[in-house]
Structure 1
Amino acid sequence: MMIESVKSILYNKSGSQIPGWLSIVGLLLACVYSFSAFIFKDIYSDYVESLFYFVVMLAFLWFGGRLRFSLYTWIAVVMVLISVISWILISIDHPEQARSRPSPGDLVDKLLFVPLALILGASRVRILLFWTCAMAALILMPWVLGGGYKEIMKGVDGVRVGLGTNPMRTGLMYGTMLVGLLVMLPFYVYKIKRVWMALPLLIFFAPLIAYSGFGVFASQTRAVFLALMVSFFVVVAIFCIYLLAKKPSTQDLNWSRLKVLLVFTSFSLFSLLYFFHVPLVSMYERFDNELKVLSESELKPDVIPETNFGLRVIYWNIGIESIKERPIAGWDRDGGRLLLEDDGYNNNTIHNLFLEAGVRYGIFAILMILMLFIFSYWLIVRAWRSGVMPPEIFIFSIVFIVFFLVSNMFSSNFFQDAGVYIFNIVMAGVMAYPIANYCSSK
């Protein structure tokens, strides 16, 4: 039994010809990346990063099969060309704003999940191990990067804290963890043979859900709360579609397990609201004050207040005007920050994923990002219809992209280290089955 479990971890059913030694080394380095790339960034970049990229690119270029000639490769090539052209043109038109060299990694780093998914392969155990390493990193983050217990207690008392990083990034990362746990839990409870066996599973999940929920509350990031609410409605919609399409019998639904899940979910929700009501009330008061100020200004461009949301509206207007001025080439990597500084604002980004991409590299960068999402989710649906993708990972893939895109409508985390990290971590896992299916198909 133990031997079979070890084999399930080491064996990569990817549909490619990745040899056993590379599969093992790749999994090890993938887990090191998952655990250390964000919270131990300096150690990772000094000792692991070069070897990690060498191994994942070796797996992709030599053993990637038809994946090497997929749309992912062409997207990467176009992204490199876009960044180089943008740098050349900004060097000619505005040499004072140009960097010393082009920054293709600013776009291409969003594709790291592709070779990672190839290495993970169609193995639920390998995927969960990879995600568990990332979850362990998030659990340790307040103590490694932040103020530890003192900062956590500040968050409990209603002070907005980042637990080691910017609160917006904190909300995104812990929100992703919370969404993943809440999506996975019902499937695992549903699979157990006896209802009483759900107790140890719930005991394991409960503190993780509470911890990730605290991270979201402590960040007091309204965009993340909005993304979570939208994600909840998406889950409800998926469940309703399932009921209408499959019309399962009472026996199929297994009401005893549904009751356990309902009680646990209700208890978790009330516990989170009870223990973390102070930061929630603080965030609501900030939101209510901003709505009052914004309603008084009627969102007129010349009188928009410089509140949290008001600044975003101002940044978006600057971004739209900047894209109109240079729609093809953009303003290169530092474009958003420099344009905001020219208008007297001290911020690094436009606070919108697509506007940020357009400001930096023009409308073709927006098109490439859209193609990246569309092609990935075409492969996911294809794998689901082929019956090779576990339902919990399929549902998580849908809920995550809704959560990620909604939250990034009010931030540019997709162009920040935390956003790139969490995007590649999640997408590597959810794309492992679809990419394996793609490689094995003709």
Structure 2
Amino acid sequence: MTSVSTSLTNAFKRRTQLEQPTWLIVLGILTVTIYAFSRTGFPEVARVSATIAFFTGFWGLYKYGSEVNSHILLRFVWIAAFFQFISWGLSQYVTPEWAEDIPKLDKVTRWFIFIPFAWWIAQRKNAIWLLWGAATAGTLISPWVTGGGLHEIIQGINGKRIDFGIRNAQHTALYFGTILIGICCLVKPLYRKNKLSLIPVALMISYCLLVIYINESRQAWLALIITFLVISSYTTLKYIKKSPRPKQIITIVLFFIGLTTLSTILITNDKIVNRVMLEQKTMNAVLSLEFDKAPYSSFGVRLHSWVAATYFIKAKPIFGWGHNGKSMVMEHTKTFPKWLKGFGHLHNFYIEMLVNYGIVGLIFYLSIWFVVGRMLFKEIKSGKVEKEIGYLFVAILFFWGVMNCFESYQNFWTGVFYFNVFMAGIMAKIWRAKLRPTTL
């Protein structure tokens, strides 16, 4: 009995990161990479690999991860479970006829799968490129795995809206838009590693631009424009501050020439103009603040559901209605036509968070980005993480933030996958900076 007790004690005794078995690290990195590559096209493979990576990752983090500060992220998990339970409990007490039978605590806690994934990716210097590269590759081949292949691309060029079988066109645009942003933010370090990398980079940028254009997702167009303006404005101002007077003038002139060129392309492109003008009546209703006069078009449906959601938010502003709050808005709003009641969500992640989990839930979500961003920029300031990762973080924050104004991505598997893969890479960079420099 004594030997068994000693063995158990040693098994749970915390050790240093350098004592971690190599085979365990390889298994972790391999399963995370397989998950990132296979989730869009081979979900069963992804499910198995994610399960292995998840449990081994938490074990590795507990056993060998004393050097990284994972406590704050684990507290997020506990807080997520707590406020979801409180929200459900209040719904059972106040409106039991509308409440779900059991609390679904996984709806928010599943956002934190990135914690054990990040531990494995942090173990090797270049593993982050395996993770993000695998996710990128899995998306880029989606036309030939989940979609209609080259035929679907040709149909898109000829005017048909495409989605490659990734749920719907909005989710496809999210993925390809992110790849476009990622490549643009990381093109400099890629070029430094290998100048010939510009050839595949140029091809991927062209491919992503083509898909986003023929995909016809207006929120993706808007999100990319806003992201481009924010990042380009910041980098231009930063360059101006460090440059002599003549270069400052040239930079400002080039910036406005580029802005004018982009604006001209957008307002003279028939496809873009026609797609935007489909919502002219809805936009007129918004500008006149006569929301009830908006037609039930694509944006009109969103607008009507957002207005209806405000009444539910006012009724339970702190903890919300529980996970099914979003579907309750659609089902119990009497002014909606019958065909609209089948919609199970509100096409706006922030409004859904307010309806489902109230102000507490929305603050919780925003806190994740704030805390992770703060940790990241601390390491960038110390010189341990490349500044390009900071640009990527900010760019994705704006792109993802705008996209979620028109779709509830993080409440679907597509958004959960997206969030976890991105955050796993960011946290891996942060933790990598804290690990001993002798690790490979």
TM range (shorter): 0.7 to 0.9
Larger RCO, structure (CA 8 Å, separation 6 or more): 1
Contact in 2 for aligned 1:16/1:439 (Cα 8 Å): no
CA distance in 2, matches of 1:89, 1:188: 52
CA distance in 2, matches of 1:284, 1:171: 18
Q: Deviations over 1:257-299 (max 9, x none)?
A: x9xxx9xxx9xx99xx89xx99x74343131131245316723
Paired position in structure 2 for 1:154: 155
Query: What's the offset of the Cα at 1:103?
Result: 1.8
Contact in 1 for aligned 2:216/2:275 (Cα 8 Å): no
Q: Deviations over 1:380-426 (max 9, x none)?
A: 11011110111222211111111111111121112111111112212
Structure 2 unaligned spans of 5+: 1-15
CA distance in 2, matches of 1:384, 1:68: 17
Paired position in structure 2 for 1:294: 283
Paired amino acid for 2:45: I
SS across alignment from 1:379: helix
Note if 1:284 corresponds to 2:286.
Answer: no
CA distance in 2, matches of 1:187, 1:69: 28
Paired position in structure 2 for 1:376: 372
Paired amino acid for 2:296: E
Contact in 2 for aligned 1:394/1:430 (Cα 8 Å): no
Paired position in structure 2 for 1:9: none
Which structure is larger by alpha-carbon Rg, 1 or 2? 2
> CA separation of 1:438/1:101 partners in 2, compared to 1, >3 Å: closer, same or farther?
farther
CA distance in 1, matches of 2:52, 2:101: 26
Query: What's the offset of the Cα at 1:436?
Result: 3.2
Single out whichever of 138-147 and 29-38 deviates more from structure 2: 138-147
Contact in 1 for aligned 2:61/2:119 (Cα 8 Å): yes
Structure 1 unaligned spans of 5+: 1-13, 252-257
CA distance in 1, matches of 2:244, 2:197: 25
Query: What's the offset of the Cα at 1:181?
Result: 0.9
Query: What's the offset of the Cα at 1:68?
Result: 5.9
Q: Deviations over 1:292-325 (max 9, x none)?
A: 4531672313212222222222121122221111
Paired position in structure 1 for 2:80: 79
Paired amino acid for 1:84: F
Query: What's the offset of the Cα at 1:366?
Result: 0.7
Single out whichever of 422-431 and 242-251 deviates more from structure 2: 242-251
Note if 1:143 corresponds to 2:133.
Answer: no
Contact in 2 for aligned 1:353/1:411 (Cα 8 Å): yes
1:335 corresponds to which of 325, 346, 360: 325
RMSD, matched Cα: 3.2
Note if 1:173 corresponds to 2:162.
Answer: no
> CA separation of 1:69/1:429 partners in 2, compared to 1, >3 Å: closer, same or farther?
closer
Contact in 2 for aligned 1:162/1:218 (Cα 8 Å): no
> CA separation of 1:405/1:29 partners in 2, compared to 1, >3 Å: closer, same or farther?
same
Note if 1:428 corresponds to 2:424.
Answer: yes
Note if 1:103 corresponds to 2:123.
Answer: no
Following superposition of structure 1 onto structure 2, how do residues 315-394 of structure 1 map, counting pairs within 5 Å? 315-343=305-333, 344=336, 345=340, 346-394=342-390
> CA separation of 1:234/1:145 partners in 2, compared to 1, >3 Å: closer, same or farther?
same
Paired position in structure 1 for 2:26: 24
SS across alignment from 2:126: helix
CA distance in 2, matches of 1:301, 1:352: 17
Query: What's the offset of the Cα at 1:29?
Result: 0.9
Paired amino acid for 2:41: I
TM-score by length of 2: 0.82
Note if 1:205 corresponds to 2:201.
Answer: yes
Contact in 1 for aligned 2:17/2:67 (Cα 8 Å): no
> CA separation of 1:292/1:301 partners in 2, compared to 1, >3 Å: closer, same or farther?
closer
